[in-house]
Amino acid sequence: MSIAITLATMRRILAQLRHDHRTLALLIGVPALLMILLRYVFDQPMVFDRIGPMLLGLFPFTVMFVVTSVATLRERTSGTLERLMTMPLGRLDLLLGYALAFGVIALVQVGVVLLISLTWLGLDLSGSLGSLVLVAVLDALLGMSLGLFASAFARTEFQAVQFMPAFVLPQLLLCGLIIPRDDMATWLQVISDVLPLSYAVEGMQEISTRTDFTPTLALDVAVIAAFTVVALLLGAVTLRRRTA
């Protein structure tokens, strides 16, 4: 593993995105648009204050999942991964390069949505801005690492895109956003307990209702980070130097 190679990889991924204006516009614009829609669909500041932050964690997660799974699949199918595997690049260099690049993108994405939410849409946040950004970026990295891992099981971009509903929608139903987790049947709660998005949403709930950095929030952050690291390591296992 080498810092120079990791940083070169990050710069390369950002350069790719810079050339792809439409993807960049979608990455930044879609979450902002959804947030604006959400604000006026409910049209009740109280409801928006409660649900807004949860969605702030959800957008980067979903978007990064899709973008990363397609990006890494492309890397596998275009032969560039094989080429890199003949070079002195460690698997972690590649994964961390992706993590850093998409972390930067997530920061910009969350920054824009936050700016719009706090000014124009009048979002009222109880907790600190810093912890909200922290959880949102962690969610983005979680989506990225799951996307990386999922891409190993896709052979085509069609399949990779289908993984989004498969990985994300069940989590969305069970994470407590639609129905509070306490109101679910026990077996659903158990499943919900082992899905990372539940912690992402719980973390955001804490930030939107509490002013201090609660122990629950600390636990949520730790769980999301742990899931991210495990998914990245599993992703590393799926990057093989030798293939058939």
Q: Return residues touching another protein (CB under 8 A).
A: 4-5, 8-9, 11-12, 15-16, 19-20, 78-80, 82-89, 241-244
CA 208 to the chain's CA centroid: 19
- 3-state DSSP call for residue 211? coil
- Answer left, alpha or beta for residue 47, where phi above 0 means left and psi between -120 and 50 means alpha: alpha
Cβ at position 228, least distance to another protein in Å: 24
| The pair of three-digit structure tokens given for residue 68, joined into one six-digit string | 């990363």
Q: What is the rounded distance in angstroms from the CA atom of residue 177 to the CA atom of residue 170? A: 12
Cβ at position 242, least distance to another protein in Å: 5
Based on CB atoms, which residue is closest to another protein, 88 or 180? 88
Burial degree of 26 (CB within 10 A; 0-12, 13-18, 19+)? middle
Cβ at position 157, least distance to another protein in Å: 14
Based on CB atoms, which residue is closest to another protein, 185 or 244? 244
Based on CB atoms, which residue is closest to another protein, 44 or 78? 78
220 Cβ contact list (under 8 Å, min separation 6): 135, 199, 200, 202, 203, 206
Cβ at position 17, least distance to another protein in Å: 9
Burial degree of 170 (CB within 10 A; 0-12, 13-18, 19+)? middle
- Answer left, alpha or beta for residue 87, where phi above 0 means left and psi between -120 and 50 means alpha: beta
243 Cβ contact list (under 8 Å, min separation 6): 82
Based on CB atoms, which residue is closest to another protein, 6 or 198? 6
Based on CB atoms, which residue is closest to another protein, 19 or 185? 19
Based on CB atoms, which residue is closest to another protein, 21 or 46? 21
